[in-house]
Structure 1
Amino acid sequence: MLFTNFLKTHQQLQNDKLLLLPKRQLVTYALYALIAVALLYLFVDPAAPAPSAPKPSSVAAPWVQEEEELLPPPSPSPPHQGDERCDYSDGEWVPDPRPPPYNGTACEAIKDGRSCMANGRADTGYLHWRWQPRRCGLPDFSPEAFLRWLGDRHMAFVGDSLARNQAESLVCLLSAWSPPELVHRDPEGRFRRWVFREHNATVSIFWSPFLVKGVEKSEHTGVRYNELFLDAFDERWMSQLGAIDAAVLSAGQWFRIPSIYHEGGGVVGCYGCAAELNHTETSFFAVFRDVVGRTLAEITRRHERGGGGDKPRLVALATFSPSHFEGEWNKGAPCTKKRPYRKGEKELGYTETEMRKIVVEAADEAGAAAAPAGLRFAALDVTTLANMRPDGHPGPYMRKNPFAAGEGRPVQNDCLHWCMPGPVDTFNQILQQTILR
């Protein structure tokens, strides 16, 4: 560009002089000018684009390259809506220097035990990772688009405390765009409901750790076993199905606790029971599979009985979310990792694999059988990505200032639930794409 401007300036000066030159010299100088222009277009193409900036080299993870500036990773192209080839369950966590999607100390939906920053967790590395699927892109969560879809609808999260964890995450993500109003809360916070007035959008939490009717064990009252009634449904949420447009079911952890199983008015089995009870030992995998299948069949039956309504209804089943206790959870085992596992570094265990498989297969089977009823079933497959995030749990920061009592005092750790913001927000990223499909 400098060379071209110089030539133009030089040519203008020469033109001024040419007006004073004799005719023979004028012709000579004109020939010189034509030769210069020809050479310019021969070696310099003024229409050619400027050379592109070199691509940044790959950035090492922060635990390897702590002193070098962490450049943002390239943004993947979002997948085409409805692209069934996009498998969000297969990928890896990559560094992301951007700030988290909401303020972890300001969102009022966060249960105290998940507000890690407010409880004193000082390290913030767990906030700066994003999930990168192997064969596609996972778009950022869009609160505007989600609320536009959720307008005049009711989304319910049904299940255990991980269902509650994901629901709180969704409310916080949406609150970045529109203020929520808490319109219902039971004393223990197990049943809550928010309304986003600007969109007439509702998000609810229904506590139902077994999905079917059950009574939870309680050590302090001397109840040593869960009681599950396999042929009775939990009407606390089932009775509300007619008013629910989308349900996210999340259960599994409570099935691993010793339980007695009832059906037809009698005991039909037991898991982890003492020998003196004289009950048939039953696999909790088999019971979990039975409960999930019965629940989806009942949802279909009630949907058909009610005529289906005038809106399509979605039932998403979140797969098993592994814990990361480094030892026995009830003996103060911690979770000390400060970074995600790399791909292939931490394989799924047998329990996690089987629990995930049960949910995925149940969603596929229900989807094929219930298509005529206007229902849509989908698996929200988060097991692998959750398994790779040992750094994302509250650990000791499930309570404020856990070490204030001094060294040597026992500290309880939470290596099951997720800090907020944290990996659980990715669950809702995938939920949004599931809805768009």
Structure 2
Amino acid sequence: MGSTSPFKEKPHSFRRKLLPWTLYACVPILLIRLYFYPLPLSLFPADQINSSTNSVVLNPSSSSASASSPTLKVEEKTHVEVACDYTNGEWVHDKKGPLYNGTNCGTVKVGRNCMSHGRPDVGYLNWRWRPKQCRLPRFEPNTFLQLMRNKNLAFVGDSLARNQLESLLCMLATASTPNLFYANGEENKFRKWHFPSHNINVSIYWSPFLVKGTERSDDKGYNTLYLDSVDERWASEMDHMDMVVLYAGHWYLLPAVYHYENSVLGCHYCPGLNHTEIGFFDVFGKAIKTTLKAITERRGPSGNQIGVIVTTFSPAHFEGEWDKFGACPKTKPYEEGEKQLEGMNADMRNTQVQEVDAAKEDAKRFANLRLEALDVTKLALMRPDGHPGPYMHPFPFANGVSERMQNDCVHWCLPGPIDTWNEILLDIMKRWEGQSRRER
């Protein structure tokens, strides 16, 4: 018989021999490839690389990374970047939980420290906002510190501005310790911290109206606002600010008399006074317009770049009247469609967004001025479980259940949903940095 082909008679035997030969040949080639062409940065955790809205890539850092490293890299992208729509999303369960522990963050105001006040449920800590059309990375403190190196950041507004500030300080403190070096005013409403690792100053300015105003007192039950004048208690230091985060809203719901161009424009809920009732929506818009105009006129022509963030209205969640022991007992977020953004909440938010959009158009003539609305109204509306409630007081039920107890359903527990605001803030900052580098 003639010879037969080994490929036909013993196919499995040949394959057994071929496989190790292939591996022996591929391994050296792979090692040579890795030596000369290291793996791409995409092997690092995605949250540390970039988001759907920006192309800035800071050196990947973790709790063991150097907080003072200035390394900054930028990925070039060929497509046009579009800002993330943070309003369209949902709260999803998150096992990782918060970045910090409220019991050991020394900058939290007592009434926001829900964990140390004995709040028994901790489920509110395990939710994360997930936009539907883009990805919101987790907060990376070293990235924030690197972007703000040698700069001054100011929060201006009411107690919600302070709430957001304290959230940021707690998250940054996991990477670098801030030192309080200035405190002034009632309840230290004007304070400044310094991060020596990156030479950063972070400040809080109490200005509940953003414009010039006088808060109501015992003998005068209404606020007095001057809608055409910015509040100089913070604006006088504007030249020293590299970024300013503005928040105002809830104080505009209170009784007030409004002045504009040296005359009384009207009032909101001022029985007994001979003024026209005009509500507060239009007034609120005028105040935002005046504030952004003042920043544009004072900083636009100068050479120093400034970023301006307007955090939109944060809804309250009282079940009942806030001043008649209304409470916020829910322990889970609303599901999509369960709660609509409407009425006053929508009107306040829309007013801010419209004024920011108008100011952005005006600011286009200045390359050194950036403005953005930090649109948190919808995602905040969905979190009725994130407020201190009765735990604005330490262990409120230690001596039995109280039927009538003041609840805080306006501010946010720390840690809590408000940490998401600063995740969005950092995402905006990274996008701005990417734009700035492409413009150079």
TM-score norm. by structure 2 comes to: 0.81
Q: 1:409 to 1:80 in 2, by over 3 A?
A: closer
One-letter identity of the residue aligned with 1:406? G
One-letter identity of the residue aligned with 2:283? V
Correspondence for 1:156: 154
Q: 1:316 to 1:334 in 2, by over 3 A?
A: same
Q: 1:365 to 1:94 in 2, by over 3 A?
A: same
Question: Does 1:290 find its partner at 2:286?
Answer: yes
Question: Does 1:193 find its partner at 2:186?
Answer: no
CA contact (8 A) 1:77 1:137 kept: no
Correspondence for 2:202: 203
TM-score norm. by structure 1 comes to: 0.82
Correspondence for 2:94: 96
One-letter identity of the residue aligned with 1:171? L
Correspondence for 1:336: 329
> 1:331: Cα distance to partner?
0.7
One-letter identity of the residue aligned with 1:127? L
Aligned ranges for residues 259-338 of structure 1 at < 5 Å?
Answer: 259-274=256-271, 276-304=272-300, 307-309=301-303, 311-338=304-331
Task: Classify the secondary structure of the residue corresponding to 2:323.
Answer: helix
> For the residues of structure 2 that align with 1:277 and 1:32, how far apart are their CA atoms?
105
> For the residues of structure 1 that align with 2:207 and 2:87, how far apart are their CA atoms?
26
Aligned equivalent of 1:36, options 12, 15, 31? 12
Correspondence for 1:422: 416
Correspondence for 1:87: 85
Task: Classify the secondary structure of the residue corresponding to 2:358.
Answer: helix
Question: Does 1:248 find its partner at 2:221?
Answer: no
Q: 1:341 to 1:36 in 2, by over 3 A?
A: same
CA contact (8 A) 1:88 1:133 kept: yes
> 1:32: Cα distance to partner?
9.5
Q: 1:40 to 1:127 in 2, by over 3 A?
A: same
Question: Does 1:432 find its partner at 2:405?
Answer: no
Question: Does 1:361 find its partner at 2:354?
Answer: yes
Aligned equivalent of 1:78, options 45, 51, 76? 51
One-letter identity of the residue aligned with 1:261? Y
CA contact (8 A) 2:51 2:427 kept: no
> 1:303: Cα distance to partner?
1.3
> For the residues of structure 1 that align with 2:53 and 2:262, how far apart are their CA atoms?
51
> For the residues of structure 2 that align with 1:436 and 1:408, how far apart are their CA atoms?
47
Task: Classify the secondary structure of the residue corresponding to 2:104.
Answer: coil
- Larger of the two Rg values belongs to structure: 1
Task: Classify the secondary structure of the residue corresponding to 2:327.
Answer: coil
> 1:185: Cα distance to partner?
1.5
Q: 1:408 to 1:102 in 2, by over 3 A?
A: closer
Identity of aligned residues (%): 48
> 1:147: Cα distance to partner?
0.2
Correspondence for 2:131: 133
**Any unmatched runs of 5+ in structure 2?**
24-45, 56-80, 432-440
> For the residues of structure 2 that align with 1:291 and 1:168, how far apart are their CA atoms?
25
> For the residues of structure 2 that align with 1:347 and 1:80, how far apart are their CA atoms?
26
Q: 1:371 to 1:39 in 2, by over 3 A?
A: closer
> 1:39: Cα distance to partner?
7.0
> 1:265: Cα distance to partner?
3.6
> 1:278: Cα distance to partner?
1.7
Q: Deviations over 1:202-227 (max 9, x none)?
A: 11100100011111123xx2321111
CA contact (8 A) 2:117 2:393 kept: yes
Correspondence for 1:16: none
Correspondence for 2:341: 348
Correspondence for 1:413: 407
Q: Deviations over 1:285-343 (max 9, x none)?
A: 00001110111111111114xx423x421000011000000010001111011100111
CA contact (8 A) 2:90 2:129 kept: yes
Correspondence for 1:376: 370
Task: Classify the secondary structure of the residue corresponding to 2:356.
Answer: helix
Aligned ranges for residues 101-140 of structure 1 at < 5 Å?
Answer: 101-140=99-138
> For the residues of structure 1 that align with 2:97 and 2:382, how far apart are their CA atoms?
21
Aligned equivalent of 2:381, options 380, 387, 394? 387
One-letter identity of the residue aligned with 1:375? L
One-letter identity of the residue aligned with 2:252? F
> 1:38: Cα distance to partner?
4.7
CA contact (8 A) 2:269 2:279 kept: no
> 1:190: Cα distance to partner?
1.2
Aligned-pair RMSD on alpha carbons?
A: 2.5
> 1:117: Cα distance to partner?
0.2
Q: Deviations over 1:1-24 (max 9, x none)?
A: xxxxxxxxxxxxxxxxxxxxxxxx
The count of corresponding residues between Structure 1 and Structure 2 is 378
> For the residues of structure 2 that align with 1:433 and 1:77, how far apart are their CA atoms?
9
**Any unmatched runs of 5+ in structure 1?**
1-26, 48-73
